[in-house]
Amino acid sequence: MRFFNRFAQLYSLIVIVLTLAYIYSATHFFVDKGNASTIMFAFYLSLVFAAALIMGVKDEDNGYMGFNYHFITYIIVNGLAFIIILAGSDANRKENIQTVLFTMLFWGIGLLFHFGMYLFMFRKKKIGSYEKDDVFK
């Protein structure tokens, strides 16, 4: 069982491309904060979710209950957002940094809950260091 196997690596590349495409399109085409930007954001989220779901189903380790995909998404999306805001010369840069930090905080709380569920479910599947399925076959 590897946390960052080939499916997680492929998923990372997909999320990087989707996130960069979303940020580019949001800053160049959908600057009006209207329905178009909301629809674009919903489309972006559904593509990221679909990619995680497909990679998680194909993953032989069952994606660690999806926790590794959730963690990868958290790191890539928040990291890219933070880097792009720091690199940009936006007039309201302080507000944008605060928005990213609040997003990181609240999403991080959700990620901690997901990690707790992962530990709870992972421990239910093991007896000592052995898998329950291997012991009771």
Q: What does the pLDDT look like over 90-104, one tens digit per residue?
A: 555 666 788 889 999
**137 in a structural domain:** no
Tell me what percent of the chain is helix, strand and coil, each rounded to the nearest 5: 80, 5, 20
Assess whether pLDDT exceeds 70 at residue 74: yes
pLDDT band at 87 (very low <50, low <70, confident <90, very high): confident
**65 in a structural domain:** yes
Q: What is the pLDDT of residue 129?
A: 57
Query: Number of folded domains in the chain?
Result: 1
Distances (CA, A) of 53 to 84, 111, 121: 27, 17, 19
Percent of the chain with pLDDT over 70: 73
**62 in a structural domain:** yes
**31 in a structural domain:** yes
**22 in a structural domain:** yes
**1 in a structural domain:** no
Please report which helix (H) or strand (E) contains residue 12, including its range: helix 6-28
Determine the structural domain holding residue 113 and report its residue range: 6-131
Percent of the chain with pLDDT over 90: 30
Return the higher-pLDDT residue of 56 and 13: 13
Q: Which of 1-5, 82-86, 131-135 has the lowest mean pLDDT?
A: 131-135
Assess whether pLDDT exceeds 70 at residue 134: no
Return the higher-pLDDT residue of 71 and 125: 71
**70 in a structural domain:** yes
**136 in a structural domain:** no
Other Cβ atoms within 10 Å of 14 Cβ, number: 18
Average pLDDT along the chain: 80
